[in-house]
Structures are given as structure tokens and as C-alpha cells.
Amino acid sequence: MTVHATHESHLVTTGLTQAAGRYFGAPVTIENLTRESGGASRQTWSFDALTADKRHALILRRDPPTATGDRSGSLPRAIEFRVLRAAFEAGVRAPEVLFELTAEDGLGDAYVMRRIGGTAIARKLLRDAPYAEARGKIASQLGDIAARIHAVDTAKLPPLAHRQAADHIAALRRQLDALGTAQPVFELALSWLDRRKPAPVARPVLVHGDYRTGNYLADQTGVTAILDWEGAHLGDPVEDLGWLCVKSWRFGSVDKPAGGFGTREELWGAYQGAGGCKVDPARAHWWEVFGTVRWGIICHTQAWKHLSGALKSMEMAAIGRRAVETEVDLLQLLKSGG
Amino acid sequence: MAQDRPTASEFLNAIIDFLREEATPALDKADPRLGFQMRVAVNSLAILEREERLGTAADARELDRLRELLGRDGTLAELNRELARQLRAGERDETDGALMAHLELTIADKIAIANPKWR
């Protein structure tokens, strides 16, 4: 570990000791602190908080005060905290958030939630032996959970952007323009989407915004928690179902559209069974095409973070060359009608 | 003057084989996070090797098709800008057979370099 990283661990331990002490109302010792993942700006740390009588397995999500430029379109942590709380209280399988940190804790925008078992690594869930039984359940569990997310009482949510199809298309075109290289396949697909925009939903719902394999935890029993809520907004519930079926989120299990685990019909059936609306296949297809364009353009914007010098990273640069995967998929999708 | 052998492609393949067979297993033992990043690096070098071998001809084919499709001359960047403009303006769409044939061939050439296993 570098000197800088050690210093950062010390800083995080100090801030957590103070904040957790306040929350538990008693002295707390922080143990097993490890940085999980994420970039320099949006960090996830795993740790245990020991009170006199109990060990609490927890997660810290934080945006360091110095971080810049890597949170475009993402919710501030304070809003994400309130979305997670509302979802958890409505019975959604999501981590239970416990407390927010304050400026005095010195860690930037941050909150703490309970740690939940399971892995988010798609490759393991799709191929490893321990998950054989779970693989048969995940598609319908995801349909069930999506219905519960979309049923969260919007009056209990913090203010969130309402994004309709037209807003999404405009946002992607702005991102393409910012890249500065012409992208005929994405332009074709965006015009296709523009001509077929689904009618705005009568009642916009809580949309997770990044509902896909890789963004939930699962164990041998299947899905344990939905993660990564920073793209949450109000909109069309079918947006989440379409995004989940984008081919890139099947991680090689291409014949199983529902996140690599099942058919679209299984997903929609479970969704409706748990109180979700009846899914119109044409609307779902539209959102799947949209999601495919969205991921392709995200690939370019990720590479651009490296190219612009904002965030030097070989991995980010390499993602730029993945955009063409979505161009292949788009040409197939546009041929298959809709 | 041409460079001596190994050619760019041969040279890249020698580097890829070394990194994949010798460096990656050692890194995996020392630091799995670096092992993962080395896999990304090796995969990226393989893209560059394919680009070195296939890229020039693919670009030339794309340029020829764009000239034919748009009925004018220009650089690859200029012609793609014009095609993108027409597509956003709705002057062409997916019912245009010549357009779709061009895009299919262009994307087939791109994916053959970026990720030939993608399906």
C-alpha cells in the first residue's frame, strides 16, 4: 500500500470513529477497513464498527471533498441516501442505510449502510458452481424487485429529475456532440428512437437508472441487494427492464436476455406478478435499443475522461474500443423490427 | 526506409505472448488487481495488433463506400461528419438499403479489430 493510501485509511478511520460513535451513542472501534472499488472520486469502503456488545458489518460510500469531474449525471450522496432509505422502507431488497457523515467528519459527502453478503461479479454468478441454483431464480427475482422499486411512494422520495424519452435522447445527443467524432450508427439509432418515442407514462415512477447484472449482490439463494442507486430518477418503469436486457449486461450469456439469466418473458411475468404494469413488448424493445445506445455512448465518454486528461486510466481508455460492440448490437436490433 | 523484422504485428505478438504467459501469472500472485489490469493491457495490445494488420485496408474500404454513398469526395472524418449530420436530420434512415449495407460492412470491419469474438 502506498504512503498516500495509508494516510487515506487513517483519515477514513478517524472520520468513521467520530461519525459511528455519534450514531451508536457510544465509543466505537473501527476494524477491517478496506477500500472496495470505484474510482478516485466515488469510493466504497468496507469496515466493521465495534461497540461494547456488538460487531456491525458496514459499508461507507463517499465522495472525497477534493474529487472533481467524475460524477456527471450522478445523484449527490445526500440524495442517494434518501432514495435508498425510501426504497428500503418500502420493502425493496436494498442495503439499509444507517447514517450520513457531516462536514466535521472530514470525509466529504458520505454515508454508511449495512454490509450485505453476496457477490456482484457477473462472471462468477454466470459460471461458478455455487451459484448453479441461483441462476434459475435471478431473472424472476429481478422482475419482482423491479416492481417493488417502481411501487415506491414518490411522495416519500427526495426531489428527483423526471426524465422522459425525449429528455434522454436530447441528453445522449449532447454527449455525442461533446465527443467531437461523428458516430453514424448512434445517430441512426437515436433518430430511430426519436421517431418511435413511447408516450410519456401517466404516472412517473422511481426508476433505478442502472438496473443490471453487475449492480446487484447475489448469493446461492439469488439476489440479496440492489446496489448503485446514483442514477435514480422519475420516469418510465420499462426503462429499467430494457436496460437490464441490453446485450452487454449478459456478459456472454447472449441467449438469456434478462441480465444473462432468463428470458424477457420470465422477467416481465415476475414483474407483473409482483404488481408491476403489463409490459408492452414494443415499449420494452424501445428501451432496450435506447439502453444499447446509452451504453455505447457511455463507453465513449469514459474513454474521453482519459483522453481529456481528467482521469488518466488505461482501463478507461480501453472502454472506448468497446463502443463498437453496441454498434453491432444496434444494427441487429434495428433489423429485428420494432 | 522500411524497418527490419519483426514487423509491427510480429513484434506486438511477441510482447503479447510474453506478457500473457510470463508476466500475468506472476502479477496474479503478487497483486490480483494488477493482474486484472495486465489482462486489460494484453487485450488492448491484441486490438492494436489486429488494427496494425487490418486497419489500413478497412479504412480505405470505408472511404470508398462513403464516397459512393454520399456522391462526394472528402476525408474519412469529413464524410462521416456529413453522414452523421444527414442521419440526425432524418435525411436518411434504416429503410435506405445502401446506407445499411455500408454500416454493416463498416461495423463488421471495426468489430473484427476491436473484439472478433463479440456476438
Binary contact (A331, B114; C-beta < 8 A): no
- Give the pLDDT mean for B84-105: 97
- Tell me which of A121, A175, A186, A188 to substitute to probe the interface with B (most B C-beta atoms closer than 10 Å): A188
CATH entry 3.30.200.20 includes domain A3-114? yes
Q: Taking CA atoms, what residue in A is nearest to B104?
A: A331
Inter-chain CB pairs, A–B, below 8 Å = 73
Q: Which residues of A touch B (CB under 8 A)?
A: 173, 181-185, 187-188, 190-192, 195, 254, 314-315, 317-318, 321-322, 324-325, 327-328, 331, 334
- Tell me which of A176, A254, A324 to substitute to probe the interface with B (most B C-beta atoms closer than 10 Å): A324
Residues A70 and A40: beta-carbon distance below 8 Å: yes
**Predicted local distance difference test score (pLDDT) of residue A5:** 64
Residue B2 lies in a domain: no
Query: Confidence class of residue A41 from pLDDT cuts 50, 70 and 90?
Result: low
Residue B119 lies in a domain: no
Residue in B37, B80, B110 nearest the CB of A324: B110
Residue B65 lies in a domain: yes
Instruction: Give per-residue pLDDT as tens, B46-87.
Output: 999 999 999 999 999 999 999 999 999 999 999 999 999 999
| Number of domains observed in the structure of chain B | 1
**Predicted local distance difference test score (pLDDT) of residue A148:** 98
Residue in A173, A328, A334 nearest the CB of B111: A328
Q: What is the ipTM of this complex?
A: 0.96
Q: Taking CA atoms, what residue in B is nearest to A336?
A: B94
The separation between CA A234 and the C-alpha centre of its own chain, rounded to angstroms, equals 15
Binary contact (A187, B111; C-beta < 8 A): no
Q: Taking CA atoms, what residue in B is nearest to A327?
A: B107
Q: Taking CA atoms, what residue in A is nearest to B105?
A: A328
Q: Where along chain A do its domains lie? A: 3-114, 122-335
Residues from chain A that touch B47, judged by Cβ atoms under 8 A, are 321
Residue B48 lies in a domain: yes
Residue B47 lies in a domain: yes
Instruction: Give per-residue pLDDT as tens, A96-154.
Output: 999 999 999 999 999 999 999 999 999 999 999 999 999 999 999 999 999 999 999 99
Rounded Cα–Cα distance for residues A290 and A37 (Å): 28
Residues from chain A that touch B83, judged by Cβ atoms under 8 A, are 182, 184, 187
Binary contact (A331, B103; C-beta < 8 A): yes
Rounded Cα–Cα distance for residues B92 and A188 (Å): 8
Instruction: Give per-residue pLDDT as tens, A203-254.
Output: 999 999 999 999 999 999 999 999 999 999 999 999 999 999 999 999 999 9
* Higher pLDDT among residues A269 and A39, named by residue: A269
Q: Range of B72's domain?
A: 8-114
What backbone torsions phi and psi does residue A43 show, to the nearest 5 degrees? -105, 150
Instruction: Give per-residue pLDDT as tens, A309-337.
Output: 988 899 999 999 999 999 999 999 998 76
Q: E strand or H helix at A99, and its extent?
A: strand A97-100
Residue B57 contacts A, CB cutoff 8 Å: no
**CATH architecture under which domain A122-335 falls:** Alpha-Beta Complex (3.90)
Question: A261 burial class (0-12, 13-18, 19+ CB within 10 angstroms)?
Answer: buried
* C-alpha cell, B4: 527490419
Binary contact (A324, B77; C-beta < 8 A): no
**Predicted local distance difference test score (pLDDT) of residue A38:** 59
Q: A275: alpha, beta or left, given left = phi > 0 and alpha = psi -120 to 50? A: left
Residue B3 lies in a domain: no
What is the model's pTM?
Answer: 0.94
Q: Taking CA atoms, what residue in B is nearest to A313?
A: B37
Query: Confidence class of residue A307 from pLDDT cuts 50, 70 and 90?
Result: very high
